Amino acid sequence: MKETIINVKGMVCEGCENRVKNALGEIKGIEKVEANYKTGIVKILANEDIERKNMEEVIEDIGFEVNS
């Protein structure tokens, strides 16, 4: 399993966490997503190599900002 950690700005509640989890969960190969709106950290576990840029684009497409 490959773990990726992305810092996300703009999550303010559990609903935001769920939006991020659901959006990333649609990407083939992603097994688990943990999002924490309090820390702004999203942890992604994938069973194959997925480009970080692709995951960041999904997050931005649903209205959140990725901190590099």
Question: How many Å apart are CA 9 and CA 7, to the nearest integer?
Answer: 7
Domain range for 13 is 2-67
pLDDT for res 47: 95
Q: How far is CA 3 from CA 15, 31, 32, in A?
A: 23, 10, 10
Kindly give the residue spans of alpha helices, DSSP state H, lying in the chain: 14-25, 52-61
Give CA–CA dist 37/29, Å, rounded. 24
Look at the chain and report how many structural domains it folds into.
1
Crossing angle of helices 14-25 and 52-61, rounded to 10°: 130
Give pLDDT tens digits for 8-48.
Answer: 999 999 999 999 999 999 999 999 999 999 999 999 999 99
The structure's pTM equals 0.93
